[in-house]
Amino acid sequence: MIEFDQVTKRYPGGTVAVDDLSLRIPSNEITVFVGPSGCGKTTSLRMINRTIERSSGVISIDGEDINDRDPVTLRRGIGYVIQHAGLFPHRTVADNIATVPKLLGWDKRKARATAMELIERVGLDPKLADRYPAQLSGGQQQRVGVARALAADPLIMLMDEPFSAVDPIVRHQLQEELLRLQRDIGKTIVFVTHDIDEAIKLGDNVAVLRVGGKLAQFAPPAELLANPADDFVESFIGQDRGYRALTFLPAADLPLEAVPDELVIDADGKPAGWRVDGEVKPLGASFQRSDSLRAALDSVLTSPVGHGVCVDEGGKPVGVIGYAAFSGALRR
Ligand SMILES: Nc1ncnc2c1ncn2[C@@H]1O[C@H](COP(=O)(O)OP(=O)(O)OP(=O)(O)O)[C@@H](O)[C@H]1O
């Protein structure tokens, strides 16, 4: 766990970039710092690896004050990914990735083998290993940046707007890959973005900061969407928060109604459609208990009779729901 305890950063000249910040960043999860430009996100992030020194308060990692650690060793144990990847232009992809292993004195063969393994892990073609950064697309460069940060197998990864400089489609892919990668590696990731949608998509927890470096709210995405702490958080989240919250809430608690006779069941016991005025109409989408409320609502919206079908893992119907099931869903 990384803990901020009443941390303040005052730059020479008097700007208070971070003001009395206290929060606990859980291990093995993604925590996102989000907020408008100048609210102190980068400053907060960089105080963790001491590339910026705090003015007061304490930042600790697993209970140990980071100021008691040697900054160089501290930094080697913390991966760091920035916008535009920040790759060394005169080093190949493999050599860029092997930067920290080499600094740590690994032999060449081991460093190369680790680089090749990471190239595949972040979804890059191994043929790119001997290219230079300028010969890669923006999205590929970011993947190399992530691979480089992972090379020494750090417990913590700091990511500062890593996906901001690529187009929306590549950005979406990189976000998906980060989530996939994180399911395997389970690092403690602190991620900075100004994009609330990115924060909600990636974060297990989201810290919303306001200008002046004050924490406005620290909560999981579903909680943020359902219960914004104040008007600032609400307006920062933007429109459709009720609808967006459905993605994070489980369908498991929805009250199911009995399967009605109008549901047509095929020879395998699976739902095949709805009988409406003597005709069989297509079923629409079905959902499982383990899906989100969004999937459940989709099943209602796509049903010809306004009833979504809940199926078990074998695809057999266990009950149905109507629109009324969603009333008050966010207030539970
Ligand atoms: N080296 C510095 N010297 C003086 N003031 C600074 C310095 N670095 C940042 N600041 C100021 O501190 C405040 C917070 O900056 P910071 O870069 O942490 O914000 P941010 O939320 O990451 O912004 P952005 O989204 O625009 O990158 C800003 O007002 C900024 O101008």
Which regions of the chain are under pLDDT 50?
none
Q: What local confidence, expressed as pLDDT, does residue 8 receive?
A: 97
Q: Which of 8, 10, 11, when mutated, tests ligand 1's pocket best, judged by the most ligand atoms within 8 Å of its CB?
A: 11
Strand partners, 275: 280
Paired sense of beta strands 56-61 and 64-65, if any: antiparallel
136 with 194, same domain: the answer is yes
Q: Which of 246, 265, 299 is the last residue of a domain?
A: 246
* Distance (Å) from CA 141 to ligand 1 centroid: 25
Domain boundaries, position 315: 251-331
Exposed, middle or buried: residue 177 (CB in 10 Å: 0-12, 13-18, 19+)? middle
Where does a domain end: 228, 246, 264? 246
- Give the per-residue pLDDT at 215: 95
Q: Find the Cα–Cα–Cα–Cα dihedral 240, 242, 248, 249, rounded to 10°.
A: -160
Beta-bridged to residue 189, according to DSSP, are: 30, 157
Q: What is the pLDDT of residues 263-295, one digit of tens each?
A: 999 999 999 999 999 999 999 999 999 999 999
Residues 165 and 25 in one domain: yes
State whether 242 and 255 are in the same domain: no
* Residue in the block written with tokens 């040697």: 70
Residues 35 and 211 sit within 8 Å (Cβ to Cβ): yes
Q: Can you give the CATH number for the domain in which 313 is found? A: 3.10.580.10
Atom number, ligand 1, closest to the C-alpha of residue 213: 14
Q: Give, using CA atoms, the residue closest to atom 7 of ligand 1.
A: 11
Nearest atom, ligand 1, residue 42 CA: 22
Indicate whether 58 and 196 sit together in one domain. Answer: yes
Choose the final residue of a domain: 196, 218, 246: 246
Residue 101 CB-half CA count within 13 A? 24
Number of domains in the chain: 2
Q: What is the pTM of this model?
A: 0.83
Helix (H, G, I), strand (E, B) or coil at 153: coil
Rounded to the nearest whole angstrom, what is the distance from the C-alpha of residue 129 to the centroid of ligand 1? 35
* One domain, residues 236 and 279: no
The pLDDT, as a whole number, for residue 330 is 66
Q: Is ipTM > 0.85 here? A: yes
pLDDT at 331: 66
4 Cβ partners below 8 Å, 6+ apart? 21, 22, 23, 24, 25, 44, 57, 58, 59
Do 156 and 90 reside in the same domain of the chain?
yes
Q: How far apart are CA 138 and CA 167, in angstroms?
A: 9
